[in-house]
């Protein structure tokens, strides 16, 4: 057990939740959604559903994190509840997809937003940023906390200022807007595109479970873990609704549909090209906290996984301060390989698909915590949370697979490779005995 001096409080835990959630998704996904879904009620409904699912998931993880002590998150839940192979697979997915892909996507988004300066910030820049952040997290928990909290403060301050400007500034009549309040939302809700749009939304909320992975580093975990998950998720949901409102208010559909850097387009309309570029810089800066959050949390999960598996044993080694440096840089290297081998949207879809699949498996383990063993929710109303989450997950996964078979199969192929590695790992373990 870590000493108190090596543990973090609820505020840092909230900062980790917020920085893991607010990042690439909210500033890029609206462009993909507007290709098929244009009614404002439909867009808001997507983000409200995403927020409810994230909050219900957070309730489940708060209970799971209090029940299963220590770091590890999904790895511990699935391994202890079902079978070691699922613990292995979720850790493999977290190493390759869960924490490395969001790092890659955030770095690519940084490059895209900074390209507003008519200079090509390409893959080399994205990779360099990843390794600089990895290095900053490699000294001590205290240094990591200061670095992470600083960039999370920039993230939160930027979001609040951006929302205030977007709400109070009037939109340019010459440019137009995307606000559409009519009955077409009823038809759009029934479209397969509504379900596939939800995969982008659920990805944007990914991170609501992040504090549960480092439960072993949180002071007074039974009190502070639920607090950090719930406060972080509610704050982010409100921000997401407001950010989508200002984007719809300040740019027409034709200007945003199919584009990744939608907020850059909106900022130019709101503030002019010069101030728009300043907004692009702050979007890029706040993405540093996203990269930091995923490297921090992902490395802890990978360390917990590596300690129990021969094939990955070397990644469990920490430095003198207990920081899992090898795991941090393993994620940085994998993020680099992802950047070099896929397009932004392709990475986005297979990442979102597989993360939704494994989040669903992890949430299902909450059914197995007996009522008398629950620390937070004593009533049977608790079962509403995993049930609603899982029903929506099946809906999202089905339509994502039907409409994005290539990306879904890439994700499932990575899972299949994990099964092979599990069998090799077990063989190595038996041969050592």
Task: Look up the pTM and report it.
Answer: 0.78
Q: Is 77 left (phi over 0), alpha (psi -120 to 50) or beta?
A: alpha
**Per-residue pLDDT tens digits for 46-96:** 999 998 998 898 888 878 877 776 555 777 888 888 988 998 898 889 888
| pLDDT above 60: residue 137 | yes
| pLDDT above 80: residue 285 | yes
| pLDDT above 70: residue 267 | yes
| pLDDT above 80: residue 152 | no
| Predicted local distance difference test score (pLDDT) of residue 432 | 60
Widest Cα–Cα separation across the chain: 74
Of 430, 31, 62, 387, nearest to 234 by C-alpha is 62
Query: Mean pLDDT: which of 275-279, 307-311, 347-351 is highest?
Result: 347-351
User: Which tops the pLDDT comparison, 122 or 431?
Assistant: 122
Q: How far apart are CA 389 and CA 384, in angstroms?
A: 8
Q: What's the CATH class of domain 7-432?
A: mainly alpha
Q: Mean of the pLDDT values across residues 159-168?
A: 88
Residue % of the chain over a pLDDT of 70: 91
| Predicted local distance difference test score (pLDDT) of residue 410 | 92
Query: Average model confidence (pLDDT) for the chain?
Result: 83
CB neighbourhood size of 84 (10 A):
16
Given the structure tokens 């939109």, which residue do they identify?
171
| Predicted local distance difference test score (pLDDT) of residue 1 | 41
Query: Mean pLDDT: which of 257-261, 274-278, 330-334, 379-383 is highest?
Result: 330-334
Q: How far apart are CA 212 and CA 66, in angstroms?
A: 9
- What does the H/E/C string look like for the chain? CCCHHHCECHHHHHHHHHHHHCCHHHHHHHHHHCCCCCCHHHHHHHHHHHHHHHHHHHHHHHHHHHHCCCCCCHHHHHHHHCCHHHHHHHHHHHHHHHCHHHHHHHHHHHHHHHHHHCCCCCHHHHHHHHHHHHHHCCCCHHHHHHHHHHHHHHHHHHHHHHHHHHHHCCCCCCCCCCCCCCCHHHHHHCCHHHHHHHHHHHHHHCCCCHHHHHHHHECCHHHHHHHHHHHHHHHHHHHHHHHHHHHHHHCCHHHHCCCCCHHHHHHHHHHHHHHHHHHHHHHHHHHHHHHHHHHHHHHHHHHHHHCCCHHHHHHHCCCCCCCCHHHHHHHHHHHHHHHHHCCHHHHHHHHHHHHHHHHHHHHHHHHHCCHHHCCCCCCHHHHHHHHHHHHHHHHHHHHHHHHCHHHHHHHHHHHHHHHHHHHHHHHHHHHHC
| Predicted local distance difference test score (pLDDT) of residue 427 | 84
Among 93-97, 113-117, 176-180, which stretch is predicted with the lowest mean pLDDT? 113-117
At 112, list the tokens.
């895209």
Residue % of the chain over a pLDDT of 90: 21
| Predicted local distance difference test score (pLDDT) of residue 199 | 82
Q: How far apart are CA 120 and CA 102, in angstroms?
A: 21
| Predicted local distance difference test score (pLDDT) of residue 394 | 92
Could you tell me the pLDDT band of residue 332, with boundaries at 50, 70 and 90?
A: very high
Q: Mean of the pLDDT values across residues 36-40?
A: 89
In this structure, what are the phi and psi dihedrals at residue 35, rounded to the nearest 5 degrees?
Answer: -65, -30
Among 149-153, 168-172, 200-204, 217-221, which stretch is predicted with the lowest mean pLDDT? 217-221
Of 19, 21, 30, nearest to 243 by C-alpha is 30
């Amino acid at each position: 057990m870590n000493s108190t001096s090596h543990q973090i409080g609820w505020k840092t835990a909230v900062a980790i939740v917020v920085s893991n959630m607010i990042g690439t998704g909210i500033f890029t996904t609206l462009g993909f959604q507007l290709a098929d879904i244009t009614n404002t009620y439909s867009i808001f409904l997507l983000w409200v559903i995403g927020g409810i699912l994230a909050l219900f998931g957070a309730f489940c993880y708060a209970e799971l994190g209090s029940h299963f002590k220590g770091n590890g998150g999904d790895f511990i839940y699935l391994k202890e509840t079902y079978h070691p192979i699922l613990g292995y697979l979720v850790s493999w997915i977290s190493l390759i997809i869960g924490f490395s892909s969001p790092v890659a996507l955030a770095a690519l988004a940084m490059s895209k937003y900074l390209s507003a300066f008519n200079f090509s910030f390409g893959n080399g820049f994205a990779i360099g940023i990843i390794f600089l952040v990895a290095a900053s997290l490699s000294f001590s928990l205290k240094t990591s906390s200061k670095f992470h909290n600083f960039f999370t403060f920039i993230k939160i301050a930027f979001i609040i200022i951006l929302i205030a400007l977007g709400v109070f500034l009037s939109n340019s009549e010459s440019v137009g807007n995307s606000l559409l309040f009519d009955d077409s939302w009823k038809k759009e809700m029934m479209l397969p595109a509504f379900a596939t749009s939800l995969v982008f939304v659920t990805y944007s909320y990914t991170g609501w479970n992040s504090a549960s992975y480092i439960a072993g580093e949180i002071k007074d975990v039974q009190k502070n873990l639920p607090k950090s998950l719930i406060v972080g998720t509610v704050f982010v949901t409100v921000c997401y609704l407001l950010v989508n409102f200002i984007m719809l208010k300040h740019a027409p559909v034709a200007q945003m549909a199919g584009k990744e850097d939608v907020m850059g387009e909106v900022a130019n309309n709101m503030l002019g090209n010069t101030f728009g570029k300043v907004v692009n810089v702050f979007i890029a800066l706040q993405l540093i906290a996203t990269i930091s959050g995923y490297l921090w949390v992902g490395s802890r999960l990978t360390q917990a996984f590596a300690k129990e598996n021969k094939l990955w044993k070397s990644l469990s080694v920490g430095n003198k301060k207990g920081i899992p440096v090898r795991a941090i840089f393993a994620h940085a290297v994998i993020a680099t390989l992802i950047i070099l081998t896929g397009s932004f949207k392709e990475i986005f879809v297979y990442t979102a698909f597989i993360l939704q699949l494994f989040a669903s498996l992890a949430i299902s383990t909450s059914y197995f915590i007996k009522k008398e063993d629950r620390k937070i929710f004593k009533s049977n109303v608790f079962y509403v949370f995993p049930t609603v989450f899982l029903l929506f997950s099946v809906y999202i996964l089905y339509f994502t697979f039907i409409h994005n078979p290539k990306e879904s199969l890439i994700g499932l192929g990575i899972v299949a490779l994990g099964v092979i590695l599990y069998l090799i790992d077990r063989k190595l373990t038996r041969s050592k005995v």
